[in-house]
Structure 1
């Protein structure tokens, strides 16, 4: 038994309650790929809050607390301004809101690139203060030493190759990668270097499909595609993109709902009721009991 937190959806409060540990583990995720193939693809979505984590948890194998929260939650122009404190706050919320999924927290820009030692200090703080199961960092061959350093010290690492948003300035934008033979070969080499270094899996983002397929076939750990290929070992999307919270729909996104329109219509209905004094009604006000 383990004392953890369950979100009471009737009050939106987190109350400590004893519950058996049933959460998936990093080794269980890694074992899903057998003889170079994952029979049932892995499901991953981003989550940034306890309530969203609770809603998504039973449907996902992994929940990613992505540094995309910089744009999605905070309205920042890129992920570069996201801080370690921001990732820890949201990571802890997602862990509290979930029981089943492996929770992975992105390491923000500037928190790991300087040295393996810096990465360990940042990653150990993330894991200690959130209770997450793993961290994710961007970069291929250049980050192999750091991935190895962390993995050997008990910190599970998910890699991230291809289009790496934290390198947007160096890449010159968010265009898909791998259009040249040189870049094609580099991304494959990055995938292999990340796997050899000890990552338990990797995100492959925004690459030509043939590269995603070749990379998936060349490593013995699961690959999670986003703008990659259905032949990857799993898929991830930013939850707000999938739910239709933004007007722009990137090519790699399938919009499964249009919540932005629904929320706007609901807010308009509320505003009309308030202005017409139709809210609150008898059902929403307090009166002395007779």
Structure 2
């Protein structure tokens, strides 16, 4: 049984202040081959904890519909709610880079609608916005980027469109679906997206997309260990969402409970949230998480 010695765990004491994580610094980190560690965050307390543990990027995700509001999906989350939680996280963070989801229904109609919604989140403290969709979002992404709003795209399993996709399924398994994902990734890169979340995508395909677009940092969730970074829903990483994460009662394959599970999958001494997050960061950096066999597709 593996046990992490608590005296040596980062997260047991406050970390010294680090320089502000900027988009430029993130790009330098990716160029060095150092994986980015991202977690979702919804309040000031956890923003401070995640920041002190060394998380690079805090994502105010519309997953708050599931883990904060107890909803069955993300579609009910409003722009006003996203702005409120973004402002809470902005007040708690010190150094980490902050991005926020554009929620369902506030950006799809036109680039101008997306700009107005993105401006609300940027005023609340976001430094980047994330939106779902591929080729149909090219004009919107370019419109935002041209007006100084950094964009993170999101392909693969897109939770706002889960009903159209037929549920929480791995995307890009067959040749046609893989080709469509490649084309969408290229379209997002050409439109100027700085980052790309790849969710529930086969490891080989996510690796191929990552290698094809080195200037657009890929962030994987259920996409294998070879993307430029990793993200999890915070509550999943802390083992708190067996029935409200949006995935049903069964824990998704790509999730690891960092409070109770060591890198080898064996039980370990129960850790505090701060310790668990520090282990998450360290294991993402060392590419111990995710494990291609246990967490990938």
With the shorter chain as reference, the TM-score category is: 0.7 to 0.9
Is the CA contact 1:145–1:197 (under 8 Å) kept in the aligned structure 2?
yes
The equivalent of 1:242 in structure 2 is 237
Is the CA contact 2:67–2:241 (under 8 Å) kept in the aligned structure 1?
no
The equivalent of 1:89 in structure 2 is 84
TM value normalised by structure 2? 0.77
Q: Report the Cα offset of residue 60 of structure 1.
A: 0.8
Give the whole-Å Cα distance in 2 for the aligned partners of 1:81 and 1:60.
Answer: 28
Give the whole-Å Cα distance in 2 for the aligned partners of 1:31 and 1:161.
Answer: 24
Change (3 A) 1:21 1:33: closer
Aligned equivalent of 1:30, options 4, 20, 27:
27
Normalized per residue, the structure richer in strand is 1
Give the whole-Å Cα distance in 1 for the aligned partners of 2:223 and 2:18.
Answer: 33
The equivalent of 1:16 in structure 2 is none
TM value normalised by structure 1? 0.79
The equivalent of 1:286 in structure 2 is none
Is the CA contact 1:30–1:201 (under 8 Å) kept in the aligned structure 2?
no
The equivalent of 2:163 in structure 1 is 169
Q: Report the Cα offset of residue 140 of structure 1.
A: 1.4
Is the CA contact 1:204–1:226 (under 8 Å) kept in the aligned structure 2?
yes
The equivalent of 2:35 in structure 1 is 41
**Can you list the C-alpha shifts for 1:16-75, whole angstroms capped at 9, x where unaligned?**
xxxx994211222233333xxx51100100000100010001311100000000000000
Alignment partner of 1:70 is 2:72: no
Give the whole-Å Cα distance in 1 for the aligned partners of 2:33 and 2:130.
Answer: 24
Give the whole-Å Cα distance in 1 for the aligned partners of 2:185 and 2:142.
Answer: 14
Q: Which runs of 5+ in 1 are unaligned?
A: 1-19, 263-290
Q: State the number of aligned residues.
A: 237
Give the whole-Å Cα distance in 2 for the aligned partners of 1:243 and 1:114.
Answer: 36
Between 1 and 2, higher relative CO (CA 8 Å, sep ≥ 6) is seen in: 2
Aligned equivalent of 2:146, options 149, 152, 156:
152
Is the CA contact 1:32–1:222 (under 8 Å) kept in the aligned structure 2?
no
Q: Following superposition, which runs of at least 4 residues in structure 1 exceed 4 angstroms of deviation?
A: none
1:184-263 correspondence to structure 2 within 5 Å? 184-219=178-213, 220-247=215-242, 248-257=250-259
Match of 1:168, SS state, is helix
Match of 1:55, SS state, is helix
Q: Report the Cα offset of residue 221 of structure 1.
A: 1.5
Q: CA RMSD in A?
A: 1.7
Give the whole-Å Cα distance in 1 for the aligned partners of 2:83 and 2:165.
Answer: 27
Q: Which runs of 5+ in 2 are unaligned?
A: 1-16, 243-249, 261-269, 271-297
Is the CA contact 2:97–2:127 (under 8 Å) kept in the aligned structure 1?
yes
Give the whole-Å Cα distance in 1 for the aligned partners of 2:94 and 2:19.
Answer: 7
Is the CA contact 1:51–1:97 (under 8 Å) kept in the aligned structure 2?
yes
Alignment partner of 1:138 is 2:138: no
Match of 1:161, SS state, is strand
Give the whole-Å Cα distance in 1 for the aligned partners of 2:226 and 2:19.
Answer: 29
Give the whole-Å Cα distance in 2 for the aligned partners of 1:170 and 1:155.
Answer: 28
**Can you list the C-alpha shifts for 1:243-263, whole angstroms capped at 9, x where unaligned?**
0102331111011125xxx9x
The equivalent of 1:272 in structure 2 is none
1:98-113 correspondence to structure 2 within 5 Å? 98-113=93-108
